[in-house]
Amino acid sequence: MAVSEAQLQAIVSAVVAQMKSEETAPKAQLGIFNDMNTAIAAAKDAQKIMQRMPMDMREKIISKIRQLTKENAEILAKMAVEETGMGNVGDKILKHQLLAEKTPGTEDITTTAWSGDRGLTLIEMGPFGVIGAICPCTNPSETVLCNAIGMLAGGNTVVFCPHPQAIKTSLYAVDLINQASISAGGPCNVAVALANPTMESSNIMMKHPDIPLIAATGGPGVVTAVLSSGKRGIGAGAGNPPALVDETADIRKAARDIVNGCTFDNNLPCIAEKEVVCVDSVCDELIHWMLEENDCYMASPEEQQKLIDTVLAGGRLNRKCVGRSARAILSMIGVNAPENIRCIIFEGEKEHKLIAEELMMPILGIVRAKDIDDAIEKAVWLEHGCRHSAHMHSKNVENLTRFGQAIDTAIFVKNAPSYAALGFGGEGFCTFTIASRTGEGLTSASTFTKRRRCVMSDSLCIR
């Protein structure tokens, strides 16, 4: 049967329309599932391939993750600010660049060997399998990408449970990880997540027989839930890091470092300065430099009360204030602050509600101490035994040592902003999962491996 010109035209139009709709339709994201059991099964299949892969191949995947993270840093930063309403784009871009460059890869997987008269013994680091990773909304894609680099370097695959407030950003990062794996010749589903994660789906993950290890990065609730799951848990929980200043410090620099650390990404990092304890003899000078050179706003007693009523409305942390800028928070209490303002300060006792609570916003209470002994006691009290992070500005080695020993935290930064602990303006590698509760400290690829002893008796010692 002959096709008329009109019919031919209609077919061509239909094909062109179909091609256009395929071009414009959103591409399905890789590694995203609707059911937790299916997601874990897919990650398990991918892990079997990962485990057989040469180290070199794992490193190629990780290099590609680094590259895609850098290329997508701005997109991810904007997406996270838009989705969560927290933090600021500029600092989030820096966080992505930092993790791409300084998160350890396969070089962190090492072998220990003993060779002697009775042969050769090795300790090798092997994968756990499929790791469950619960991530916070404060650093959503940073945690997903940083965890993925370390976990894949160890030969694992990972099922992510993102925070419901940061799903879009987290799933975008999961997709990037799978794109990286495929383009480097690896399998898909090295990282998986659900399109609509819920508390229930997290609970399924926590009880699943194919999940031998769970890394929980978040507040006290989730860490306690994971540590009660009966599985091995890495607990990266909350902190309330004090910055202690003694009379020997360079006070002008201390003011600058503290405000820079406190305001980075609007105070979202768990390591950021949450309050200051300063010895009385230099406290006025510290406040002077904070106001004079570091864009701080001194809140009056009435404004402090309004802040309490707003950011701790009903006695609970108001999540609408978390990670907001100082000006945004001030506008919520009716203060129209100048454009340069980036930190709200005030003086108070350690029990002051805005000082004792972990707020995650640029509100920085200053507690006056009569001397170093009093300062150490107050700062230790304020850290609430989280053993997370603490900072100090001092040139007195004895004072630094005493505070470090008394506070006993996973991170202790001296004479620098808190972010030096993440390798930003300080030595060392980067991580966004600081296992304060369970003691692994700053996690890296080796944290996500099992130690195995491999013994060859009376052989292979060639001496």
Which residues are tagged catalytic?
270
Interface with ligand NAD (CB under 6 A), residue from 156, 263, 325, 436: 436
Minimum gap (Å) between residue 286 Cβ and ligand NAD? 25
Interface positions, 329-388, toward ligand NAD (CB under 6 A): 358
> Burial, 397: exposed, middle or buried (Cβ in 10 Å; 0-12, 13-18, 19+)?
exposed
| Residue 219 interacts with ligand NAD (CB under 6 A): yes or no | yes
| Residue 270 interacts with ligand NAD (CB under 6 A): yes or no | yes
Interface with ligand NAD (CB under 6 A), residue from 279, 434, 438, 448: 434
Minimum gap (Å) between residue 433 Cβ and ligand NAD? 5
Interface stretch with ligand NAD, choices 108-116, 131-139, 290-298, 305-313 (CB under 6 A): 131-139
Rounded to whole angstroms, how far apart are CA atoms 261 and 425?
A: 11
Interface positions, 152-181, toward ligand NAD (CB under 6 A): 161-164
According to DSSP, the residues that pair with 244 across neighbouring strands are 277, 392
Closer Cβ to ligand NAD, 185 or 221, answer by number: 221
Minimum gap (Å) between residue 225 Cβ and ligand NAD? 4
| Residue 202 interacts with ligand NAD (CB under 6 A): yes or no | yes
Minimum gap (Å) between residue 384 Cβ and ligand NAD? 11
| Residue 222 interacts with ligand NAD (CB under 6 A): yes or no | yes
Rounded to whole angstroms, how far apart are CA atoms 363 and 92?
A: 19
Closer Cβ to ligand NAD, 50 or 174, answer by number: 174
Rounded to whole angstroms, how far apart are CA atoms 184 and 106?
A: 15
Rounded to whole angstroms, how far apart are CA atoms 87 and 91?
A: 8
Site size with ligand NAD, rule: CB under 6 A: 28
Rounded to whole angstroms, how far apart are CA atoms 30 and 79?
A: 18
Site string for ligand NAD, 223-252 (x = CB under 6 A): --x----------xxxx-------------
Minimum gap (Å) between residue 279 Cβ and ligand NAD? 27
Interface with ligand NAD (CB under 6 A), residue from 433, 438, 447, 449: 433
Closer Cβ to ligand NAD, 161 or 276, answer by number: 161
Interface with ligand NAD (CB under 6 A), residue from 199, 298, 454, 460: 199
Minimum gap (Å) between residue 28 Cβ and ligand NAD? 23
Closest residue to ligand NAD, based on beta-carbon distance: 218
Minimum gap (Å) between residue 151 Cβ and ligand NAD? 15
Q: SS3 string of the chain?
A: CCCCHHHHHHHHHHHHHHHHHHHHCCCCCCCEECCHHHHHHHHHHHHHHHHHCCHHHHHHHHHHHHHHHHHCHHHHHHHHHHHHCCCCHHHHHHHHHHHHHHCCCHHHCCCEEEEECCEEEEEEEEECCEEEEECCCCCHHHHHHHHHHHHHHCCCEEEEECCHHHHHHHHHHHHHHHHHHHHCCCCCCCEEEECCCCHHHHHHHHHCCCCCEEEEECCHHHHHHHHCCCCEEEEECCCCCEEEECCCCCHHHHHHHHHHHHHHHHHCCCCCCCEEEEEHHHHHHHHHHHHHHCCEEECCHHHHHHHHHHHCHHHCCCCCCCCCCHHHHHHHCCCCCCCCCCEEEEECCCCCHHHHCCCCCCEEEEEEECCHHHHHHHHHHHHCCCCCEEEEECCCHHHHHHHHHHHCCCEEEECCCHHHHHCCCCCCCCCCCEECCCCCEECCHHHHEEEEEEEEECCCCCC
Closer Cβ to ligand NAD, 207 or 453, answer by number: 207
Interface with ligand NAD (CB under 6 A), residue from 69, 138, 179, 399: 138
Interface stretch with ligand NAD, choices 75-83, 215-223, 258-266, 341-349 (CB under 6 A): 215-223
What phi and psi, each to the nearest 5 degrees, are found at residue 136? -90, 165
Minimum gap (Å) between residue 356 Cβ and ligand NAD? 14
Where does this chain bind ligand NAD (CB under 6 A)?
A: 134-139, 161-164, 199, 202, 217-219, 221-222, 225, 236-239, 270, 358, 432-434, 436
